[in-house]
Amino acid sequence: MQATVSTTDKSLVDLIVPVYNEAHVLERSAERLAAAMADCREFLWRIVVVDNGSTDATETVGRRLAEELGHLRFLHLGPKGRGGALRRAISETDAQFAVYMDVDLSTDLAAVPAAVELLRRGADIVAGSRLHPDSQVTRCLKREILSRGYNRLVRFVMRVKSFDDAQCGFKGFRLATVRSLLPLVKDQNWFFDTELLVLAEYAGLKVCTLPIVWVEDADSRVNIPRTICQDLAGLARLRRTAGSLVRQWRKQSRQE
């Protein structure tokens, strides 16, 4: 599969889009993302769609797009879970950097080159933030309150300072460093983002926050009560284990 050619830099950036039962929007979103990146000459790029356990026609659409579009790669996983989808895409690539986004493309795509630039300058993770003072966010009051409450809880419980919006569906990764942390990350679902960010800060990786323009998707089907319960359980587990996990990781890294 060919990546889209850049005239100024040979670094390859995967644009990862995890999907679950998104047959009705996948093609439109892929076309919109490709159109937004068409004039990019700053780096090589390709779209990586990761289907995690869809039960609709998402796999059929994804495989067709991979055949028709030279800049799109399709991966299929049996188990459901955004964390598992991201883990697979991060683990199985020859790219130098990756930027992931939700299939609804709620984050304005101008954030993609901005995130890549921060990664080039030395960031290991770039976390899009809907809570940054310079961000422009459109969403309902309920989600605003839940988001602010959750992120304050994360900062209080884990004593982290490098990010303020753990669950925003837009992040960039320096793959060589982030990949080394994956064995420490246990969650396969929505808590994956929080866990990876916390472990990255504890491990001394450089985490940068990026202000974004973000518009809520009215078709979002996230089960909020279930996700809250899973996140709280994940936080309790991470509070107990993060320090020892990172110490073991550092010890093993020195031995290697």
Give the active site residues: 193
Residues near 132 by Cβ (< 8 Å), separated by ≥ 6? 164, 165, 209, 210, 211, 212
Token pair 């899009």 in the structure block, residue:
128
Q: Report which of 210, 181, 222 is spatially closest to residue 87, judged by C-alpha positions.
A: 181
Residue 21's CB is within 10 A of a number of other CB atoms, namely 17
**How far apart (Å, rounded) are the C-alpha atoms in residues 229 and 241?**
19
Of 169, 168, 181, 188, the C-alpha closest to 85 is: 188
